Amino acid sequence: MVIKKILRKIKYHSPISIGMRTFKTWIAATLTAIVALTPIIGNPFYALMGTVFGMQSTVADSFKMGQGRVIGTTIGAFIGFIFTTFDLTAPPFVALAIVLAIIICGLLKINHSILITVTLCLLIMFNPEREGVELIHYTLFRTLDTALGVVIGFLINRFIAPPNHLKSLVSELAILNTLTKTALEDDNMLPQLKKELISFMRIHTNYQADEKYDNYDISNENLRQTVEACRDLYFHFQHCKATDPTVKQYHTHHIHQTAMLLENTLDELKHII
């Protein structure tokens, strides 16, 4: 893709890292800002914040964070509306509203949305000029603004150059495959091996999160075995230089087995992507 090549060149020649996620955030924010010029969005702030929340490193996280944002906004709006309607705006009640919002977010496991939940709750409570029908409209439209922003962010992340975790996985497997072979002869490669193993596990976690959005037909069992073997790979390298021949043979054997798994899994995935 032309855009990806341009971004790679910018990243190579500039100290500023601009990745595809940053570029897609720009697209989503631009689109949201354009929609904000129409009567569809009442307050661009909530829509744009929703868009940013809807742009995560994985499509699954985009959905999760966006969903949490909408739910949190709804909770904050509802609490603020109830407390304002019954004129419960004295300091003790304000504190109670904040605590209530935090507790509900915790119960729903959307702690990442506590800030926006409390923010919207307080915005509603400290707008005394709004009451009755106007307060209902304000509460409803702030929730809808956020939801629309989240949807735009999610759709951009899902359908415009979605994260290709499998390709990243193959690249990392290739690096591990080389390091596993060279680290047996050179102990200085172990720190690099440890670093790449951590990176591989992170990429695999992202791959699993977005697996349902991918259309690749791969053997998850082979990949699972490779991942499990890699979890212990660094441990085996640490002990393969043992003076006890039996211990040394045991750990060296596991390293060679892992190397074979890496090779086979890498060959399989290369043919798919």
Task: With a cut of 70, say whether residue 169 has pLDDT above it.
Answer: yes
Give 15's Cβ-side CA count (13 Å radius): 0
Positive or negative torsion for Cα 68, 70, 73, 75: negative
Owning domain of residue 233: 165-272
Q: How many domains does the chain have?
A: 2
Banded pLDDT at 129 (limits 50, 70, 90): low
pLDDT in tens, 48-59: 988 988 888 888
Based on the domain organization, do 151 and 172 belong to the same domain? Answer: no
Q: How far is CA 13 from CA 4, 7, 19, 24, 53, in A?
A: 14, 10, 13, 21, 29
Residues 140 and 125 occupy one common structural domain: yes
Domain boundary among 130, 159, 188: 159
- Residues 29 and 123 occupy one common structural domain: yes
pLDDT tens, 208-260? 888 877 766 666 778 888 999 999 999 999 888 777 888 888 999 999 999 99
Note whether 30 and 36 are within 8 A (CB). Answer: no
Q: In this predicted model, what pLDDT tens digit does every residue of 149-165 receive, in sequence order?
A: 999 999 999 899 888 88
175 and 125: one domain? Answer: no
pLDDT of 103 over the 80 cut: yes
Cα separation, 181 vs 263, whole angstroms: 11
